[in-house]
Amino acid sequence: MEKQTDPAEWVQANFWIPELRGPIVLGAYQVKCLREALSRDEKGDFKYSIVLWSDIKKSAKSSVAAAVDTWFCDNFDYVESYIVANDLKQANSRVAEYFRRALTLNPNYRNKYKNRGYRTTFNNHSFAEAIPIDPSGEAGSNADLIITSELWGAHEEAQQQMWAEMTLSPTKFGRSMRWVESYAGYTGQSELLWSLYQLGVKEGELLWPEPMETNFDGPQPLEAYVNRRARMFCLWNTFPRLPWQTQAYYESERAVLTEAQFNRLHRNQWSSPQETFIPAEWWNACKDPNMPGLEFTKGGLPRTPVVMALDAGVSSDNFGLLLDSRHPTITEETCVRYAQRWVPPPGGKIDFVGTKEHPGPEMVIEELCKKYNVVEIAYDPSQLEDMAGRLRRKGIAWFKPFGQAEKRAVADSALRNRIRDRRIHHDGNPELAEHIQNADAKKDPTGEHSIRLVKRAEKLKIDLAVCLSMADYETMRLNL
Protein backbone atom coordinates (compact mmCIF):
# COMPACT_ATOMS: atom_id res chain seq x y z
CA MET A 1 0.00 0.00 0.00
CA GLU A 2 1.52 3.30 -1.08
CA LYS A 3 1.79 6.39 1.08
CA GLN A 4 1.28 9.53 -1.01
CA THR A 5 4.24 11.77 -0.16
CA ASP A 6 6.38 14.47 -1.70
CA PRO A 7 9.74 12.69 -1.99
CA ALA A 8 11.90 15.74 -1.24
CA GLU A 9 9.82 16.65 1.83
CA TRP A 10 9.81 13.04 2.99
CA VAL A 11 13.58 12.72 2.66
CA GLN A 12 14.17 15.92 4.64
CA ALA A 13 11.88 14.68 7.39
CA ASN A 14 12.91 11.02 7.62
CA PHE A 15 16.42 10.40 6.28
CA TRP A 16 18.78 11.07 9.18
CA ILE A 17 22.52 11.71 8.94
CA PRO A 18 25.12 11.70 11.76
CA GLU A 19 26.46 15.16 10.94
CA LEU A 20 23.13 16.72 11.99
CA ARG A 21 21.86 13.99 14.31
CA GLY A 22 18.65 14.56 12.47
CA PRO A 23 17.19 14.72 8.94
CA ILE A 24 19.35 15.66 5.98
CA VAL A 25 18.98 19.17 4.57
CA LEU A 26 19.07 19.20 0.77
CA GLY A 27 20.26 22.02 -1.42
CA ALA A 28 17.66 23.89 -3.48
CA TYR A 29 18.85 22.23 -6.71
CA GLN A 30 18.73 18.78 -5.08
CA VAL A 31 15.13 19.32 -3.97
CA LYS A 32 14.13 20.43 -7.46
CA CYS A 33 15.83 17.49 -9.15
CA LEU A 34 14.64 14.90 -6.64
CA ARG A 35 11.02 15.92 -7.13
CA GLU A 36 11.38 15.66 -10.89
CA ALA A 37 13.31 12.38 -10.82
CA LEU A 38 10.59 10.68 -8.75
CA SER A 39 7.62 12.43 -10.38
CA ARG A 40 4.70 10.47 -11.80
CA ASP A 41 2.23 10.85 -14.63
CA GLU A 42 -1.56 11.01 -14.53
CA LYS A 43 -1.76 7.20 -14.26
CA GLY A 44 0.50 7.18 -11.23
CA ASP A 45 3.47 5.66 -13.09
CA PHE A 46 6.97 7.00 -12.68
CA LYS A 47 7.86 9.32 -15.57
CA TYR A 48 11.40 7.96 -15.67
CA SER A 49 12.80 4.46 -15.73
CA ILE A 50 16.43 5.65 -15.52
CA VAL A 51 17.78 8.38 -13.28
CA LEU A 52 21.42 9.38 -13.67
CA TRP A 53 22.41 11.50 -10.67
CA SER A 54 25.89 12.78 -11.45
CA ASP A 55 27.36 15.51 -9.29
CA ILE A 56 30.73 16.86 -8.20
CA LYS A 57 32.57 15.08 -5.39
CA LYS A 58 31.29 15.69 -1.86
CA SER A 59 27.76 16.54 -2.99
CA ALA A 60 26.08 13.75 -0.99
CA LYS A 61 25.40 11.60 -4.10
CA SER A 62 25.51 8.36 -2.10
CA SER A 63 23.35 9.82 0.66
CA VAL A 64 20.73 10.94 -1.86
CA ALA A 65 20.71 7.44 -3.40
CA ALA A 66 20.34 5.88 0.06
CA ALA A 67 17.50 8.30 0.83
CA VAL A 68 15.70 7.30 -2.38
CA ASP A 69 16.11 3.65 -1.39
CA THR A 70 14.64 4.37 2.05
CA TRP A 71 11.74 6.29 0.49
CA PHE A 72 10.94 3.39 -1.84
CA CYS A 73 11.06 0.75 0.88
CA ASP A 74 9.02 2.76 3.39
CA ASN A 75 6.36 4.06 1.00
CA PHE A 76 5.66 0.93 -1.07
CA ASP A 77 4.93 -2.62 0.09
CA TYR A 78 6.90 -5.65 -1.16
CA VAL A 79 9.63 -3.59 -2.81
CA GLU A 80 12.69 -5.48 -4.06
CA SER A 81 15.62 -3.10 -3.98
CA TYR A 82 19.23 -3.95 -4.89
CA ILE A 83 22.40 -1.91 -4.42
CA VAL A 84 25.24 -2.62 -6.86
CA ALA A 85 28.70 -1.10 -7.13
CA ASN A 86 32.02 -2.16 -8.63
CA ASP A 87 32.31 -4.84 -5.95
CA LEU A 88 30.32 -6.00 -2.92
CA LYS A 89 32.51 -4.10 -0.44
CA GLN A 90 31.89 -0.81 -2.23
CA ALA A 91 28.15 -1.46 -2.50
CA ASN A 92 27.85 -2.35 1.18
CA SER A 93 30.13 0.37 2.55
CA ARG A 94 28.60 3.39 0.81
CA VAL A 95 24.95 3.52 -0.25
CA ALA A 96 23.89 0.48 1.82
CA GLU A 97 25.80 1.72 4.88
CA TYR A 98 24.20 5.18 4.65
CA PHE A 99 20.80 3.47 4.25
CA ARG A 100 21.25 1.35 7.40
CA ARG A 101 22.78 4.24 9.33
CA ALA A 102 19.78 6.48 8.63
CA LEU A 103 17.41 3.83 9.99
CA THR A 104 19.53 3.42 13.13
CA LEU A 105 19.68 7.16 13.79
CA ASN A 106 15.97 7.82 13.30
CA PRO A 107 14.02 6.76 16.46
CA ASN A 108 10.82 6.45 14.42
CA TYR A 109 12.21 3.33 12.72
CA ARG A 110 12.77 1.31 15.86
CA ASN A 111 11.21 -2.15 15.50
CA LYS A 112 10.23 -1.41 11.88
CA TYR A 113 13.04 -3.31 10.15
CA LYS A 114 15.55 -6.14 10.55
CA ASN A 115 19.12 -6.48 9.27
CA ARG A 116 20.40 -9.86 8.22
CA GLY A 117 23.67 -10.07 6.36
CA TYR A 118 23.57 -7.65 3.45
CA ARG A 119 19.75 -7.40 3.47
CA THR A 120 17.49 -5.02 5.40
CA THR A 121 13.80 -6.04 5.53
CA PHE A 122 10.94 -3.73 6.56
CA ASN A 123 7.75 -4.77 8.30
CA ASN A 124 5.86 -4.06 5.05
CA HIS A 125 7.90 -6.85 3.40
CA SER A 126 10.04 -4.43 1.35
CA PHE A 127 13.78 -5.03 1.41
CA ALA A 128 17.05 -3.47 0.28
CA GLU A 129 20.13 -5.62 -0.31
CA ALA A 130 23.74 -4.98 -1.32
CA ILE A 131 24.74 -7.64 -3.85
CA PRO A 132 28.01 -8.79 -5.46
CA ILE A 133 28.93 -8.68 -9.13
CA ASP A 134 27.41 -12.00 -10.23
CA PRO A 135 25.76 -11.72 -13.67
CA SER A 136 24.56 -15.33 -13.79
CA GLY A 137 23.10 -15.13 -10.28
CA GLU A 138 21.12 -11.98 -11.09
CA ALA A 139 19.66 -13.17 -14.40
CA GLY A 140 15.89 -12.82 -14.25
CA SER A 141 15.92 -10.08 -11.62
CA ASN A 142 12.49 -8.71 -10.73
CA ALA A 143 13.64 -5.56 -8.95
CA ASP A 144 11.56 -2.47 -8.23
CA LEU A 145 14.66 -0.34 -7.65
CA ILE A 146 18.25 -0.93 -8.75
CA ILE A 147 20.80 1.52 -7.38
CA THR A 148 24.18 1.50 -9.10
CA SER A 149 26.98 3.35 -7.32
CA GLU A 150 30.10 4.88 -8.94
CA LEU A 151 29.43 3.54 -12.41
CA TRP A 152 32.56 5.33 -13.67
CA GLY A 153 34.57 2.36 -12.36
CA ALA A 154 32.63 -0.36 -14.22
CA HIS A 155 35.37 -1.42 -16.64
CA GLU A 156 35.34 -5.20 -16.45
CA GLU A 157 33.22 -7.54 -18.56
CA ALA A 158 31.44 -8.98 -15.51
CA GLN A 159 30.36 -5.51 -14.38
CA GLN A 160 29.02 -4.69 -17.82
CA GLN A 161 27.21 -8.02 -18.05
CA MET A 162 25.73 -7.42 -14.60
CA TRP A 163 24.24 -4.16 -15.86
CA ALA A 164 22.64 -6.01 -18.77
CA GLU A 165 21.27 -8.86 -16.65
CA MET A 166 19.68 -6.53 -14.10
CA THR A 167 17.39 -4.87 -16.60
CA LEU A 168 13.97 -3.84 -15.34
CA SER A 169 11.08 -6.28 -15.71
CA PRO A 170 8.31 -5.38 -18.21
CA THR A 171 5.75 -6.50 -15.62
CA LYS A 172 6.84 -3.57 -13.43
CA PHE A 173 7.10 -0.97 -16.17
CA GLY A 174 6.26 2.45 -14.72
CA ARG A 175 6.64 1.18 -11.18
CA SER A 176 10.35 0.37 -11.20
CA MET A 177 13.50 2.37 -11.71
CA ARG A 178 17.28 2.29 -12.18
CA TRP A 179 19.07 4.93 -10.10
CA VAL A 180 22.72 5.58 -11.04
CA GLU A 181 24.96 7.81 -8.91
CA SER A 182 28.46 8.71 -10.05
CA TYR A 183 30.75 11.53 -10.96
CA ALA A 184 32.47 11.67 -14.35
CA GLY A 185 34.73 8.89 -15.56
CA TYR A 186 37.47 8.33 -18.11
CA THR A 187 36.92 8.51 -21.85
CA GLY A 188 37.55 5.17 -23.49
CA GLN A 189 37.27 3.28 -20.20
CA SER A 190 34.02 4.17 -18.43
CA GLU A 191 31.90 2.91 -21.32
CA LEU A 192 28.64 2.24 -19.45
CA LEU A 193 28.61 5.66 -17.85
CA TRP A 194 29.63 7.29 -21.13
CA SER A 195 26.67 5.70 -22.92
CA LEU A 196 24.29 7.05 -20.25
CA TYR A 197 25.95 10.48 -20.43
CA GLN A 198 25.42 10.52 -24.19
CA LEU A 199 21.81 9.42 -23.78
CA GLY A 200 20.98 11.90 -21.04
CA VAL A 201 23.10 14.98 -21.73
CA LYS A 202 23.94 14.90 -25.43
CA GLU A 203 20.62 13.46 -26.64
CA GLY A 204 18.43 14.98 -23.93
CA GLU A 205 16.92 18.44 -23.56
CA LEU A 206 17.83 20.94 -20.86
CA LEU A 207 14.87 20.98 -18.49
CA TRP A 208 15.33 24.33 -16.73
CA PRO A 209 17.40 26.84 -18.75
CA GLU A 210 16.89 29.68 -16.26
CA PRO A 211 20.04 30.28 -14.12
CA MET A 212 20.27 29.25 -10.48
CA GLU A 213 22.74 30.67 -7.97
CA THR A 214 26.03 28.86 -7.41
CA ASN A 215 28.50 29.43 -4.58
CA PHE A 216 31.00 31.61 -6.45
CA ASP A 217 30.61 31.09 -10.21
CA GLY A 218 27.61 33.35 -10.54
CA PRO A 219 24.14 32.18 -11.67
CA GLN A 220 24.34 29.12 -13.92
CA PRO A 221 21.65 26.95 -15.52
CA LEU A 222 20.92 23.80 -13.56
CA GLU A 223 22.33 21.01 -15.73
CA ALA A 224 19.29 18.75 -15.57
CA TYR A 225 18.22 16.95 -18.75
CA VAL A 226 15.34 14.79 -19.90
CA ASN A 227 15.38 12.20 -22.66
CA ARG A 228 11.72 11.41 -23.05
CA ARG A 229 12.23 8.63 -25.59
CA ALA A 230 14.51 6.79 -23.14
CA ARG A 231 12.34 7.74 -20.12
CA MET A 232 15.48 9.17 -18.54
CA PHE A 233 16.18 12.03 -16.14
CA CYS A 234 19.79 13.17 -15.84
CA LEU A 235 21.42 15.58 -13.41
CA TRP A 236 25.00 16.35 -14.52
CA ASN A 237 26.00 19.18 -12.21
CA THR A 238 29.44 20.81 -12.68
CA PHE A 239 29.24 23.72 -10.22
CA PRO A 240 29.64 23.96 -6.43
CA ARG A 241 26.18 24.69 -5.05
CA LEU A 242 26.29 23.41 -1.44
CA PRO A 243 27.32 25.42 1.66
CA TRP A 244 30.44 23.39 2.48
CA GLN A 245 31.83 23.66 -1.07
CA THR A 246 33.87 26.81 -0.45
CA GLN A 247 36.62 28.53 -2.40
CA ALA A 248 39.08 27.80 0.41
CA TYR A 249 38.32 24.08 0.16
CA TYR A 250 38.90 24.04 -3.60
CA GLU A 251 42.12 26.03 -3.30
CA SER A 252 43.47 23.34 -0.96
CA GLU A 253 42.37 20.62 -3.38
CA ARG A 254 44.06 22.34 -6.34
CA ALA A 255 47.32 22.27 -4.42
CA VAL A 256 47.37 18.46 -4.22
CA LEU A 257 45.60 17.39 -7.43
CA THR A 258 46.59 17.66 -11.06
CA GLU A 259 44.32 19.81 -13.21
CA ALA A 260 42.73 16.75 -14.83
CA GLN A 261 42.09 15.13 -11.44
CA PHE A 262 40.61 18.34 -10.04
CA ASN A 263 38.29 18.84 -13.01
CA ARG A 264 37.01 15.26 -12.93
CA LEU A 265 36.38 15.14 -9.18
CA HIS A 266 35.38 18.71 -8.42
CA ARG A 267 33.91 19.89 -11.72
CA ASN A 268 32.43 16.57 -12.88
CA GLN A 269 34.25 16.75 -16.22
CA TRP A 270 35.27 13.73 -18.28
CA SER A 271 38.99 13.03 -18.26
CA SER A 272 41.41 11.16 -20.46
CA PRO A 273 42.79 8.06 -18.72
CA GLN A 274 46.23 9.46 -19.54
CA GLU A 275 47.60 12.78 -18.31
CA THR A 276 50.93 14.35 -17.40
CA PHE A 277 52.49 12.36 -14.56
CA ILE A 278 53.31 15.43 -12.47
CA PRO A 279 53.54 19.18 -13.07
CA ALA A 280 57.15 20.32 -13.56
CA GLU A 281 56.73 22.60 -10.53
CA TRP A 282 56.29 19.59 -8.23
CA TRP A 283 59.61 18.07 -9.31
CA ASN A 284 61.46 21.37 -9.19
CA ALA A 285 60.19 21.92 -5.65
CA CYS A 286 61.88 18.67 -4.57
CA LYS A 287 65.35 19.89 -5.62
CA ASP A 288 67.50 20.21 -2.52
CA PRO A 289 70.89 21.96 -2.89
CA ASN A 290 71.60 21.11 0.76
CA MET A 291 70.73 17.42 0.54
CA PRO A 292 72.75 15.58 3.21
CA GLY A 293 75.45 13.21 1.97
CA LEU A 294 75.80 9.50 2.64
CA GLU A 295 77.45 8.23 5.81
CA PHE A 296 80.70 6.25 5.84
CA THR A 297 82.62 4.53 8.62
CA LYS A 298 85.89 5.95 9.93
CA GLY A 299 87.62 3.42 7.69
CA GLY A 300 85.84 4.81 4.64
CA LEU A 301 83.38 1.94 4.23
CA PRO A 302 79.84 2.79 3.09
CA ARG A 303 77.29 2.77 5.92
CA THR A 304 74.03 4.27 4.59
CA PRO A 305 71.82 1.53 3.04
CA VAL A 306 70.78 2.26 -0.54
CA VAL A 307 68.45 0.55 -3.01
CA MET A 308 69.43 0.29 -6.67
CA ALA A 309 66.81 0.00 -9.41
CA LEU A 310 67.33 -1.02 -13.03
CA ASP A 311 64.99 -0.59 -15.99
CA ALA A 312 65.42 -1.29 -19.68
CA GLY A 313 63.03 -1.88 -22.54
CA VAL A 314 63.47 -3.40 -25.94
CA SER A 315 66.61 -2.81 -27.99
CA SER A 316 65.71 0.79 -28.93
CA ASP A 317 65.07 1.89 -25.33
CA ASN A 318 67.39 3.44 -22.78
CA PHE A 319 68.87 1.56 -19.85
CA GLY A 320 68.24 3.30 -16.53
CA LEU A 321 70.04 2.90 -13.20
CA LEU A 322 69.22 4.79 -9.99
CA LEU A 323 70.27 4.70 -6.32
CA ASP A 324 67.91 5.81 -3.54
CA SER A 325 68.24 6.05 0.25
CA ARG A 326 66.34 7.28 3.27
CA HIS A 327 66.93 10.85 4.33
CA PRO A 328 69.32 10.66 7.33
CA THR A 329 67.20 12.87 9.60
CA ILE A 330 63.67 12.82 8.10
CA THR A 331 62.79 9.14 8.08
CA GLU A 332 59.67 9.40 5.88
CA GLU A 333 61.61 11.13 3.11
CA THR A 334 64.13 9.78 0.61
CA CYS A 335 67.12 11.04 -1.35
CA VAL A 336 68.11 10.23 -4.94
CA ARG A 337 71.82 9.45 -4.72
CA TYR A 338 72.76 8.55 -8.28
CA ALA A 339 71.11 8.32 -11.69
CA GLN A 340 72.55 7.29 -15.05
CA ARG A 341 71.14 6.25 -18.39
CA TRP A 342 72.61 4.52 -21.41
CA VAL A 343 71.35 5.26 -24.91
CA PRO A 344 71.67 2.61 -27.64
CA PRO A 345 73.56 3.59 -30.80
CA PRO A 346 71.45 4.22 -33.93
CA GLY A 347 70.09 0.89 -35.12
CA GLY A 348 72.06 -0.98 -32.44
CA LYS A 349 71.82 -2.25 -28.88
CA ILE A 350 73.38 -1.21 -25.61
CA ASP A 351 76.56 -3.09 -24.74
CA PHE A 352 75.67 -4.25 -21.23
CA VAL A 353 79.32 -4.95 -20.34
CA GLY A 354 81.10 -2.14 -22.20
CA THR A 355 84.75 -1.24 -22.07
CA LYS A 356 87.09 0.46 -19.63
CA GLU A 357 86.76 3.70 -21.57
CA HIS A 358 83.00 3.32 -22.00
CA PRO A 359 81.72 1.08 -19.20
CA GLY A 360 78.32 -0.51 -19.73
CA PRO A 361 75.61 -1.07 -17.10
CA GLU A 362 77.11 -4.31 -15.73
CA MET A 363 80.50 -2.75 -15.04
CA VAL A 364 78.92 0.30 -13.42
CA ILE A 365 76.61 -1.83 -11.26
CA GLU A 366 79.58 -3.78 -9.93
CA GLU A 367 81.54 -0.60 -9.19
CA LEU A 368 78.61 1.02 -7.41
CA CYS A 369 78.09 -2.10 -5.27
CA LYS A 370 81.71 -1.76 -4.12
CA LYS A 371 81.33 1.96 -3.43
CA TYR A 372 77.92 1.97 -1.73
CA ASN A 373 76.05 -0.19 0.77
CA VAL A 374 73.60 -1.62 -1.78
CA VAL A 375 71.09 -3.75 0.15
CA GLU A 376 68.86 -4.57 -2.84
CA ILE A 377 68.82 -4.31 -6.61
CA ALA A 378 65.24 -4.12 -7.91
CA TYR A 379 64.86 -4.84 -11.62
CA ASP A 380 62.36 -5.45 -14.40
CA PRO A 381 62.39 -9.26 -14.80
CA SER A 382 60.76 -9.15 -18.24
CA GLN A 383 63.85 -7.50 -19.76
CA LEU A 384 66.78 -7.96 -17.38
CA GLU A 385 66.56 -11.52 -16.02
CA ASP A 386 69.63 -12.72 -17.93
CA MET A 387 71.83 -9.87 -16.77
CA ALA A 388 70.51 -10.14 -13.20
CA GLY A 389 71.31 -13.84 -13.23
CA ARG A 390 74.92 -13.23 -14.29
CA LEU A 391 75.48 -10.60 -11.61
CA ARG A 392 73.59 -12.59 -8.98
CA ARG A 393 76.01 -15.47 -9.46
CA LYS A 394 78.89 -13.08 -8.68
CA GLY A 395 77.27 -12.38 -5.31
CA ILE A 396 77.55 -8.59 -5.58
CA ALA A 397 74.12 -7.86 -4.06
CA TRP A 398 70.64 -9.22 -3.47
CA PHE A 399 68.60 -9.03 -6.68
CA LYS A 400 64.82 -8.69 -6.39
CA PRO A 401 62.53 -8.92 -9.44
CA PHE A 402 59.96 -6.11 -9.36
CA GLY A 403 56.64 -6.99 -11.02
CA GLN A 404 55.66 -4.54 -13.74
CA ALA A 405 51.89 -5.01 -13.49
CA GLU A 406 49.97 -4.53 -10.23
CA LYS A 407 53.04 -3.79 -8.09
CA ARG A 408 54.21 -1.06 -10.45
CA ALA A 409 50.78 0.57 -10.33
CA VAL A 410 51.05 0.77 -6.54
CA ALA A 411 54.61 2.10 -6.70
CA ASP A 412 53.85 4.65 -9.45
CA SER A 413 50.84 5.98 -7.55
CA ALA A 414 52.90 6.27 -4.36
CA LEU A 415 55.68 8.07 -6.23
CA ARG A 416 53.31 10.69 -7.59
CA ASN A 417 51.97 11.37 -4.09
CA ARG A 418 55.43 11.54 -2.54
CA ILE A 419 56.68 14.01 -5.16
CA ARG A 420 53.53 16.08 -4.67
CA ASP A 421 54.14 16.12 -0.90
CA ARG A 422 57.86 16.96 -1.37
CA ARG A 423 59.02 13.79 0.38
CA ILE A 424 61.74 13.13 -2.22
CA HIS A 425 65.03 15.06 -2.40
CA HIS A 426 67.20 15.25 -5.53
CA ASP A 427 70.13 17.28 -6.81
CA GLY A 428 68.58 18.30 -10.13
CA ASN A 429 70.07 15.53 -12.30
CA PRO A 430 69.01 16.67 -15.82
CA GLU A 431 68.56 13.15 -17.23
CA LEU A 432 66.27 12.15 -14.38
CA ALA A 433 64.32 15.42 -14.74
CA GLU A 434 63.91 14.76 -18.47
CA HIS A 435 62.52 11.25 -17.90
CA ILE A 436 60.16 12.51 -15.19
CA GLN A 437 58.79 15.16 -17.54
CA ASN A 438 58.50 12.65 -20.41
CA ALA A 439 56.13 10.54 -18.31
CA ASP A 440 52.36 10.50 -18.45
CA ALA A 441 50.10 8.88 -15.89
CA LYS A 442 47.65 6.37 -17.31
CA LYS A 443 44.66 5.56 -15.14
CA ASP A 444 44.70 1.93 -14.02
CA PRO A 445 41.07 0.71 -14.35
CA THR A 446 41.49 -1.57 -11.32
CA GLY A 447 41.41 1.30 -8.85
CA GLU A 448 40.17 4.87 -8.50
CA HIS A 449 43.51 6.19 -7.24
CA SER A 450 45.85 3.90 -9.16
CA ILE A 451 47.97 5.07 -12.09
CA ARG A 452 50.81 3.75 -14.27
CA LEU A 453 53.81 5.61 -15.62
CA VAL A 454 53.74 5.56 -19.43
CA LYS A 455 55.57 7.39 -22.21
CA ARG A 456 53.90 10.49 -23.55
CA ALA A 457 55.22 9.48 -26.98
CA GLU A 458 57.24 6.48 -28.16
CA LYS A 459 60.39 8.52 -28.77
CA LEU A 460 60.33 9.96 -25.23
CA LYS A 461 62.10 7.81 -22.64
CA ILE A 462 61.07 7.31 -19.01
CA ASP A 463 63.43 4.57 -17.78
CA LEU A 464 64.91 6.66 -14.95
CA ALA A 465 61.41 7.64 -13.78
CA VAL A 466 60.51 3.95 -13.61
CA CYS A 467 63.74 3.29 -11.70
CA LEU A 468 62.82 5.99 -9.18
CA SER A 469 59.37 4.45 -8.72
CA MET A 470 60.82 1.01 -7.97
CA ALA A 471 63.72 2.25 -5.83
CA ASP A 472 61.65 4.65 -3.74
CA TYR A 473 58.97 2.04 -3.14
CA GLU A 474 61.53 -0.52 -1.98
CA THR A 475 63.38 2.01 0.17
CA MET A 476 60.18 2.78 2.04
CA ARG A 477 59.05 -0.85 2.20
CA LEU A 478 62.35 -2.05 3.66
CA ASN A 479 62.27 0.68 6.30
CA LEU A 480 65.96 1.35 5.77
> For position 445, what pLDDT does the model report?
63
CA distance to 308, 334, 415, 461, per residue, from 471 (Å): 6, 10, 10, 18
The continuous run of DSSP H or E covering 309 comes out as: strand 305-312
> For position 139, what pLDDT does the model report?
47
Dump pLDDT digits (tens) for 18-46.
999 999 999 999 999 999 999 999 999 99
In order, the DSSP letters of 402-461 are --SSHHHHHHHHHHHHHHHTT-EEB---HHHHHHHHTEEEEEPTT-TT-EEEEESSTTS-
> For position 350, what pLDDT does the model report?
85
Enumerate the β-bridge partners of residue 425: 335
In order of start, what are the domains of the chain with their CATH numbers? 7-271 (3.40.50.300), 282-477 (3.30.420.240)
Q: Nearest CA to 143 among 156, 131, 160?
A: 131
Determine the 3-state secondary structure of 167 from DSSP: coil
Ranges of residues in the chain with a pLDDT under 70 are 1-4, 135-140, 313-316, 445-449
